C-alpha cells in the first residue's frame, strides 16, 4: 500500500473513532493501541500498529507518524508487510521457527481452568497454553473467521520477535467428508455443485490469503481420514464410493493451488498404524498416494501426517505381530512410519517426510481394540511439539499437536443426528458433546495422564 494512500485515509479513520476506549480492531479480535503511534501496515480494515507482540488499531492513539515524524517508541521493530520478502521453505518446515500459539485454544483452556477447583490440575492446564497446536479450518465459516486472523497474528508475532513464526492449519472440508464416520461429517455433500463450492469458496479463498501472507512459514495438514478411506472403505461403504471422485478431484485441485507456494508445506493424512498398517493396506496406499500426488502436478507435497486425532502410542513394545494385533506388523506409530517410508519411497514418491500427531498418545488408553477412536478414557497428552524429534529418523519432520486436546471426537447422545456408535462404546468417555465442542472431563484426564508430565 503506497504511503500517499495511508496519509489520505488517516484523518477519515481517526474521525470514525468515538472513544479511545473502543476501536474497530476489537471487532476483529485485536486490542486498541495504548501507546504505539506508528502505522506499520494498512489494509481494508484500517491502520495497524504493533504493541506487545500483537496487532492493534493505531487510530486510538494521539498521533499517526509520517516519514518525517519522530518514530521512537517502546516497540522499534520493523514490521514486514504480508506482501514483503517471500519466505521459502528449505529442508524441514518445522525447524528453526517459533510455533504460533493458537489464541482460540488458549481461550478454551482459560475457560477450562475457570471450572477447576484443584490448583495442581489448574497449574498443569496453564502449561498447555505454552504449546502450539493446529488451527482447524473445518467449515467455510471457520475458514473465513480464522485463517486471515491467525495469519495476521503470526505475522505480528514474527515482526515483534524478529524470528520466523510457523502456523499450522488443518484443511478439512471435502465434499462427503469422513465418509465412513458419522460424528464428523461435513457441510458439503458429494455432488458437483458442492465440489465447485469447495474449490471457489474454500480452496481459492485459502490460496488468496496464503499468497498475501507470503513472508511467513505455513504448514497445511490435508483432509484427515479422506485418502485412508479411499484405501480401505470404497467397497464396504457406499458413502465412500460416492465420495471417491470428489476426494481425488479435491486433492488434485488443492495440490495444484497450494503446492506451488514456496512458503507453504503440505502433509497428506495417512490415517494411523491400526488403519493402514497391514501389508496389503500399505501396498494399496502406496498406489493411491502416488497417483494423488502426481495428479496435483506441478504442485508438490512435502510428506504425510499420521495419527491425526488418534490415540495410537508412538512406541508400544508390549505389542507385536500376532493375534492381539490382528497380525498387524506395525502396532505402533514408529513402526508404521518406518514401514511407510520404505513403501512410499519404493513406489517412487519423491518427498517422503512425516509429521506425527502426539496430542493424545502419551499414555496407552483403555481401549480394548486399537480401532476405537472416539473420546477414549485413559487419554494422556503426548510428546511436545518439536522438530526432528527422533535421532536416526531424518524423515520424521516433527511431533506436533494436530488435534487440540479437549475438543470432542463426537457426541455420545444416541438421539443426535451425528451420533456414531463408536462414541457409545465402553471405553468412550461419556457424556460427550458434539465433535469439536469442548469436553472438559476429557481435557482434565488428558493433562493428568500427560507423558512426559506437564
Over residues 235-244, the pLDDT tens digits come to 999 999 999 9
Cis peptide before 363 (omega within 30 of 0): no
pLDDT beyond 80 at 63: no
The continuous run of DSSP H or E covering 116 comes out as none
> Can you read off the three cell numbers belonging to residue 369?
481394540
Query: How far apart are the C-alpha atoms of 382 and 297, rounded to whole Å?
Result: 35
pLDDT of residue 68: 32
Query: How far apart are the C-alpha atoms of 15 and 359, rounded to whole Å?
Result: 47
Beta carbons within 8 Å of 391's beta carbon, 6+ residues apart: none
Beta carbons within 8 Å of 198's beta carbon, 6+ residues apart: 173, 174, 175, 188, 246, 250
CA distances from 245 to 194, 202, 248 (A): 12, 18, 5
Query: How far apart are the C-alpha atoms of 412 and 424, rounded to whole Å?
Result: 5
Query: Which of the pair, 146 or 80, is modelled with greater confidence?
Result: 146
Query: How far apart are the C-alpha atoms of 91 and 193, rounded to whole Å?
Result: 39
The position carrying cell 485441485 is 253
Task: Tell me the pLDDT tens digit for each residue of 5-34.
Answer: 333 333 333 333 334 468 888 877 778 888
pLDDT of residue 75: 35
Beta bridge partners of 268: 222, 304
CA distances from 86 to 80, 152, 156, 157, 215 (A): 10, 15, 16, 17, 5
Q: Are 408 and 439 in contact (CB under 8 A)?
A: yes
Catalytic residue among 38, 138, 173, 178: 178
> What's the whole-number average pLDDT of the chain?
88
Q: How crowded is residue 333: how many other Cβ atoms within 10 Å of its Cβ? A: 29
The position carrying cell 498398517 is 277
Per DSSP, the three-state class of 167 is: strand
Task: Tell me the pLDDT tens digit for each residue of 239-272.
Answer: 999 999 999 999 999 999 999 999 999 999 999 9
Query: Which of the pair, 328 or 183, is modelled with greater confidence?
Result: 328
Catalytic residue among 194, 225, 316, 420: 225
Q: What percent of the chain has pLDDT over 90?
A: 76
What is the average pLDDT across 133-161? 95
Region of poorest pLDDT, from 53-67, 222-236, 339-353: 53-67
What letters, b where the CB count within 10 A reaches 16 and e where it falls short, cover 376-407? bbebbbbbbbebebbeeeebbbbbbbbbbbbb
Q: Is 76 a catalytic residue?
A: no
Q: What is the DSSP letter of 203?
A: I
Per DSSP, the three-state class of 47 is: strand
pLDDT of residue 42: 66
Terminal-to-terminal C-alpha distance of the chain = 45
Cis peptide before 330 (omega within 30 of 0): no
Query: How far apart are the C-alpha atoms of 98 and 381, rounded to whole Å?
Result: 21
Catalytic residue among 57, 138, 409, 420: 409
Query: How far apart are the C-alpha atoms of 262 and 150, rounded to whole Å?
Result: 19
Q: Are 261 and 317 in contact (CB under 8 A)?
A: no
What is the average pLDDT across 315-336? 92
Query: How far apart are the C-alpha atoms of 362 and 384, rounded to whole Å?
Result: 10
Nearest to 294 by CA among 344, 244, 356: 344
Query: Which of the pair, 150 or 6, is modelled with greater confidence?
Result: 150
pLDDT of residue 37: 76
> Can you read off the three cell numbers belonging to residue 29?
479480535
pLDDT of residue 64: 37
Give the β-pairing of 303-306 and 354-357: parallel
Q: Is 409 a catalytic residue?
A: yes
Q: Is 225 a catalytic residue?
A: yes
Amino acid at each position: 500500500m503506497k504511503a500517499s494512500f495511508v496519509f489520505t485515509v488517516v484523518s477519515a479513520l481517526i474521525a470514525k473513532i468515538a472513544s479511545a476506549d473502543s476501536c474497530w480492531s476489537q471487532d476483529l479480535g485485536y486490542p486498541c493501541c495504548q501507546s504505539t503511534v506508528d502505522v506499520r501496515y494498512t489494509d481494508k480494515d484500517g491502520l495497524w500498529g504493533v504493541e506487545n507482540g500483537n496487532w492493534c488499531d493505531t487510530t486510538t492513539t494521539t498521533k499517526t507518524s509520517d516519514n518525517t515524524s519522530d518514530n521512537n517508541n517502546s516497540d522499534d521493530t520493523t514490521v514486514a508487510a504480508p506482501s514483503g520478502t517471500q519466505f521459502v521453505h528449505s529442508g524441514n518446515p518445522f525447524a528453526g521457527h517459533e510455533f504460533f500459539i493458537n489464541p482460540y485454544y488458549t481461550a478454551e483452556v482459560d475457560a477450562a481452568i475457570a471450572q477447576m477447583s484443584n490448583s495442581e490440575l489448574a497449574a498443569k492446564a496453564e502449561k498447555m497454553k505454552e504449546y502450539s497446536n493446529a488451527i482447524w479450518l473445518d467449515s467455510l465459516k471457520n475458514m473465513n473467521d480464522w485463517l486471515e486472523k491467525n495469519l495476521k497474528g503470526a505475522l505480528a508475532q514474527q515482526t515483534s520477535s524478529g524470528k520466523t513464526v510457523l502456523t499450522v492449519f488443518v484443511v478439512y472440508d471435502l465434499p462427503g467428508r469422513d465418509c465412513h464416520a458419522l460424528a464428523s461429517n461435513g457441510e458439503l455433500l458429494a455432488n458437483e455443485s458442492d465440489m465447485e463450492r469447495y474449490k471457489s469458496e474454500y480452496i481459492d479463498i485459502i490460496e488468496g490469503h496464503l499468497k498475501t501472507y507470503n513472508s511467513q512459514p505455513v504448514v497445511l495438514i490435508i483432509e484427515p481420514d479422506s485418502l485412508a478411506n479411499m484405501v480401505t472403505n470404497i467397497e464396504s461403504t457406499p458413502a465412500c464410493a460416492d465420495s471417491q471422485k470428489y476426494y481425488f478431484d479435491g486433492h488434485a485441485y488443492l495440490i495444484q493451488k497450494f503446492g506451488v507456494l514456496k512458503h507453504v508445506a503440505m502433509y497428506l493424512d495417512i490415517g494411523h498404524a491400526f488403519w493402514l498398517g497391514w501389508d496389503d493396506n500399505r501396498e494399496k496406499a502406496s498406489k493411491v498416494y502416488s497417483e494423488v500426488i502426481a495428479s496435483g502436478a506441478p504442485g508438490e507435497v512435502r510428506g504425510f501426517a499420521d495419527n491425526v486425532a488418534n490415540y495410537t502410542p508412538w512406541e508400544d513394545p508390549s505389542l507385536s505381530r500376532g493375534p492381539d494385533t490382528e497380525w498387524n506388523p506395525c502396532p505402533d506409530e514408529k513402526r508404521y512410519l518406518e514401514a511407510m517410508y520404505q513403501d512410499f519411497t519404493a513406489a517412487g514418491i519423491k518427498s517422503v517426510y512425516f509429521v506425527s500427531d502426539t496430542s493424545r498418545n502419551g499414555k496407552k488408553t483403555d481401549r480394548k481394540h486399537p480401532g476405537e477412536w472416539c473420546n477414549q478414557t485413559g487419554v494422556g497428552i503426548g510428546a511436545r511439539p518439536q522438530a526432528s524429534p527422533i535421532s536416526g529418523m531424518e524423515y520424521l519432520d516433527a511431533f506436533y499437536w494436530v488435534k487440540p486436546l479437549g475438543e470432542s471426537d463426537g457426541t455420545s447422545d444416541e438421539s443426535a443426528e451425528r451420533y456414531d456408535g463408536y462414541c457409545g462404546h465402553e471405553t468412550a468417555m461419556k457424556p460427550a458433546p458434539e465433535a469439536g465442542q469442548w469436553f472438559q472431563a476429557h481435557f482434565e484426564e488428558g493433562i493428568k495422564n500427560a507423558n512426559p508430565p506437564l
